[in-house]
Structure 1
């Protein structure tokens, strides 16, 4: 416990001094490996992993390699859990629950959008220790949007403070939901809870940009049915630091280390999170 506290204090000091350096690394990775390939991909640059909605490109792989090299150099002793490296070696995912500071990386979140020339994609980076996300960076180069969150210090978008606010009382809750290809039958039933009176659901796009929409107050909540940390760690902290909350179907906060009862929600405020979580629990009953 004493050693963990010392590491936590060291990371707090790192973030106080070098959070802007991390942002520069994220921007540099996108500038070097992602933006030049946007709307320039050849057929050989795109590969299906597990199905037509699960794609990887040369930009994903090269950007993750760039981020892995530069982020671990910025914070010696840290490790990286990246989507593409874990696809190649699933055992790497276990580092999220390890003792070392861990960078959780999705080099191109919204690869399907990226492949189709849609600007709705982003790079996600989160820094965590002992299962707690301490800082995050969400960068959408084609939209010129960079959101940064540091635990206890708030969230910003392009340097401006973010506040999620609360939904208006006189309209249905706007909720982005999981793609049905990534849900079990039980989860599909649970998600029916937000396909009911009082809700206005729509399919989700890039998870990172949906979280940003919640943090900005442009979307009331998300309801997601998968728990891979690279899709959620950055956005969950962003929503929290903008004043929002997240809850699983059991009514407890989402854990990046796994074991969550799915689906779960992140929302603009605690009351909205509880309303969506209750709908998910009732939908699956």
Structure 2
């Protein structure tokens, strides 16, 4: 029997998820208060007072005591109502208690990022949030993202619209990438692991990474419309001008720079704020026209996915595969629907906008 992609009797309501996000966010707000920000003085990795911050996989991927405390609070509230085993059991996929092998199943599942934007938080940069999604059959049905510094709560229930602090929100509706504000990210899991393992070296990417079109070196409409040549090598360690020191490179950095170049060349401007869930919510309410990133896990964008889609937006992977994709498609890379575990996401104000950039996007090799 097919897994029902709707809420079932006994499932949490959107109000339940929203209240939990606000309660968890209050812990983040407390830690971000002026009296607490002094604990984050100095540089990451020194002894300047950041005892709250510790590395998970590298110096780029941080976990703080607040991450752990927020996750413990959320899980305790869930387990008080939904058992881990037996009738009515709910699974939990949460950032700090999951492993690389943890995956989303068809079971009813809470998908939690206790502090999205941990590096921002550890530096006292307030672009951070708590993200909670609830899924059945790998379909996210409820989402709540709370940004405590701005007291903004984004919520959505599948089929019932998206909201910011209770007011309906809609995407910008942009279809013209040249007039679009684009956000992206350079995911710590990928870049940090390569940095820690010393895998830096020079690499070149073919056009679009999958034989796609080349990017121009200028931003005029004529240049963009006349894309035909193979792109230059990306990520060379050689400096662009005499007298500059060389920098190491890696497949992850090369692909991130290529994707950034796509956004810079094709879009109006680019932002990089460092919190995937909030980036997606900003697409949902029209502050951004598009966001893309390689590397995020399910907890980074599960809640954001339903919020964007309920606000009229479009979510897909780098091949263009989206939630409504059929089991087969003329495009050889599009087999089956969008996979939350694919570690790649494009969230856009329209399908046309997403498909304007997908041919250029590459994944780390």
TM-score with structure 2 setting the length: 0.67
Stretches of structure 2 that go unaligned for 5 or more consecutive residues are 40-48, 84-88, 192-251, 323-337
Alignment partners' CA distance in 2, 1:13 and 1:155: 22
Q: 1:172 to 1:151 in 2, by over 3 A?
A: same
Which of the pair is proportionally richer in helix?
Answer: 1
- 1:196-229 CA-to-partner distances (Å, cap 9, x unmatched) read 1444223232111111110011101012011311
Q: 1:72 to 1:19 in 2, by over 3 A?
A: farther
Which one has the largest radius of gyration? 2
Alignment partners' CA distance in 1, 2:305 and 2:109: 16
SS in structure 1 of the partner of residue 306 of structure 2: helix
Alignment partners' CA distance in 1, 2:274 and 2:255: 22
Q: 1:250 to 1:170 in 2, by over 3 A?
A: closer
SS in structure 2 of the partner of residue 195 of structure 1: helix
Q: Kindly state the Cα deviation for residue 38 of structure 1 after the two structures are TM-superposed.
A: 1.9
Alignment partners' CA distance in 1, 2:32 and 2:151: 14
Of 290, 309, 312, which residue of structure 2 is paired with 1:240? 309
Asked whether 1:34 is paired with 2:118, we answer no
CA RMSD of the aligned region, Å?
Answer: 2.5
Alignment partners' CA distance in 2, 1:170 and 1:200: 10
Q: Kindly state the Cα deviation for residue 257 of structure 1 after the two structures are TM-superposed.
A: 3.0
Aligned match of 2:280: 211
Aligned match of 1:85: 97
SS in structure 1 of the partner of residue 143 of structure 2: strand
Q: Kindly state the Cα deviation for residue 18 of structure 1 after the two structures are TM-superposed.
A: 2.9
Of 166-175 and 193-202, the range deviating more from structure 2: 166-175
Alignment partners' CA distance in 2, 1:14 and 1:146: 24
SS in structure 1 of the partner of residue 96 of structure 2: helix
* Higher-RCO chain (CA-CA 8 Å, sequence separation at least 6): 2
Superposed, 1:222-261 pairs within 5 Å as 222-253=291-322, 254-258=338-342
Of 119, 126, 130, which residue of structure 2 is paired with 1:123? 130
- 1:232-275 CA-to-partner distances (Å, cap 9, x unmatched) read 111111111100002222121231133x6x5x411011111111
Alignment partners' CA distance in 2, 1:168 and 1:232: 22
SS in structure 2 of the partner of residue 233 of structure 1: helix
Contact between 2:156 and 2:307, CA under 8 Å: does it hold in 1? yes
Alignment partners' CA distance in 2, 1:118 and 1:202: 15
Q: 1:164 to 1:279 in 2, by over 3 A?
A: same
Q: Kindly state the Cα deviation for residue 279 of structure 1 after the two structures are TM-superposed.
A: 3.6
Contact between 2:175 and 2:353, CA under 8 Å: does it hold in 1? no
Of 22, 38, 60, which residue of structure 1 is paired with 2:17? 22
Alignment partners' CA distance in 1, 2:10 and 2:167: 22
